[in-house]
Amino acid sequence: MAAPKVAVVGAGVVGLSTALCILEACPSCSVAVLSEQFSPNTTSDVAAGMLIPHTCPGTPIHVQKQWFKETFTYLFGICNSAEASEAGIHLVSGWQIFKNTPKEESPFWSDVVLGFRPMSEAELQKFPQHRFGQAFTTLKCDCPPYLLWLEKRLKAAGVQMHTRKVSDLWELHREYNIVVNCAGIGAHQLVGDEQLFPIRGQVLKVHAPWVKNFIRDGDGSTYIYPGIHRVTLGGTREKHNWSLSPHPGTTKDIFDRCCSLEPSLQGAQDVKVKVGLRPSRQSVRLNREVLSQGAVKLLVVHNYGHGAGGFSIHRGTAQEAARLVGECIAALQGSSSRAKL
Ligand code: FAD
């Protein structure tokens, strides 16, 4: 058969990295990315991009750990290359702090990040309201540069980028052999997934170049994540809230909470407020599906629902999605050779 034509729907971190993994696994494929929005207008642009996984209740821990490890290894490779600055990838050290000692003193990802250890008494003195903490070094993506870096690699490999809202996956069946659904929260409408819901997050991106260490309150409600150019201050987690409008009261609350952990932030300047909808469900949807309309079939791979931790696992899930696309191609080749007999 001719080179299989693959459409990836979505241009957030999941869609772009999935398109790249498909090309790496199947260089003869013709891949196009179709998306309603590209950077800087995706949820992925709003994210802090810290590699600290969030536990997904419906996915086995060993699978989540594998996705995280693959992502960490991939980004660590970029971080150790001349591409690091353009891709916006850097190492950052800091502290995750708790008011009470957590049940699990070492999370499942503790041996993937670098130098994970309990905080010393001296370090804890910086946080008088907290009694326990973990110190480690992890990676951070500055999200818009990383998305642009992914786009650049895709374009260099000949991938077409089309601005297009897809209302129904069947729209694509005449033009493409396989459709990969990486629509993030958009999958709620696109494929009618009622298990998918938004967890609204509001963050501030501020200029505070003296802040070099990350600080994360253990429950994830308050965080300070320094990037290359700006520091992300967060946050909120508002389930089922679809509003993309910033809330001024929330901005003040986030700022006050972050200043209580890092008082020097009182001097932060140029505060920009961003809102994003985390595409959340019990587990990431990462599977193959064959849609049928009578005798006509459409091969689909789904890769969405990464919730609060999409950056932390994107490369691992993209590789798995590319493997599923490989299975679809094998099925297509099998059916085309049977048709010739
Ligand atoms: P998106 O970035 O939303 O991309 C979806 C794409 O699909 C978009 O391009 C959209 O236009 C397109 N699309 C949707 N519907 C259609 C349609 N019908 N037709 C065509 N195109 C369509 N994760 C971390 O790991 N670390 C963090 O520090 C972190 N911080 C975060 C902070 C905040 C405030 C928020 C909101 C999220 C954070 N996340 C973090 C989570 C992370 O942002 C998400 O998990 C990730 O961005 C999801 O990526 P995605 O590509 O699936 O979705």
Q: Which residues pair with residue 75 across a beta bridge?
A: none
Counting ligand 1 atoms within 8 A of each CB, the residue from 17, 37, 43 with the most, and so the one to mutate, is 43
Total domains present in the chain: 1
What number is the average pLDDT over the span 189-206? 98
Tell me, yes or no, if the pTM score tops 0.85. Answer: yes
> pLDDT, tens digit, for every residue of 21-62?
999 999 989 999 999 999 999 999 999 999 999 988 899 999
> pLDDT, tens digit, for every residue of 128-144?
999 999 999 999 999 99
CB-ligand 1 contact for 18 (6 Å cutoff) = no
Indicate if the pLDDT at residue 78 is higher than 90: yes
At 208 the pLDDT is 98
Percent of the chain with pLDDT over 70: 98
Write the CATH number for 263.
3.40.50.720
At 315 the pLDDT is 98
At 195 the pLDDT is 97
Q: What ranges in the chain are assigned the alpha helix state H?
A: 13-25, 43-46, 61-79, 84-87, 121-124, 143-156, 187-190, 248-261, 310-340
- Give me ligand 1 centre to Cα 327, in Å: 26
- Give me ligand 1 centre to Cα 117, in Å: 31
CB-ligand 1 contact for 196 (6 Å cutoff) = no
DSSP state of 283: S
At 123 the pLDDT is 96
Provide the residue range defining the domain that includes 108: 5-339
> pLDDT, tens digit, for every residue of 84-96?
999 999 999 999 9
> Residue 234 CA: which ligand 1 atom is closest?
34
Diameter of the chain by CA atoms? Answer: 76
Give Rg (Cα) of the chain.
21
> Which tokens is 169 given?
């996956």
Q: Which of 201, 186, 185, 222 is nearest to 276 (CA)?
A: 201
Q: Which residues pair with residue 205 across a beta bridge?
A: 232, 272
> Which tokens is 283 given?
């587990």
223 assigned to a ligand binding site: yes
At 177 the pLDDT is 96
- Give me ligand 1 centre to Cα 226, in Å: 20
At 337 the pLDDT is 65
Q: What is the DSSP string of 70-117?
A: HHHHHHHHHHTSTTHHHHTEEEEEEEEEESS--S-SS-TTTTTSEEEE
Q: Tell me the pairing of strands 114-118 and 197-207.
A: unpaired
* Amino acid letter, 142: D
CB-ligand 1 contact for 188 (6 Å cutoff) = no
d(CA 300, CA 303): 10
What number is the average pLDDT over the span 200-221? 96
> pLDDT, tens digit, for every residue of 272-290?
999 999 999 999 999 999 9
- How far the first Cα of the chain sits from its last, in Å, is 14
d(CA 221, CA 70): 26
CB atoms within 10 A of CB 160: 12
DSSP state of 3: P
Report the SS3 class of residue 266: helix
> pLDDT, tens digit, for every residue of 150-175?
999 999 999 999 999 999 999 999 99
What pLDDT band is residue 338 in, cutting at 50, 70 and 90?
low
At 159 the pLDDT is 97
What number is the average pLDDT over the span 175-194? 98
Mean pLDDT of the chain: 96
Contact by Cβ (8 Å): 317, 306: yes
Contact by Cβ (8 Å): 126, 152: no
At 336 the pLDDT is 67
At 341 the pLDDT is 54
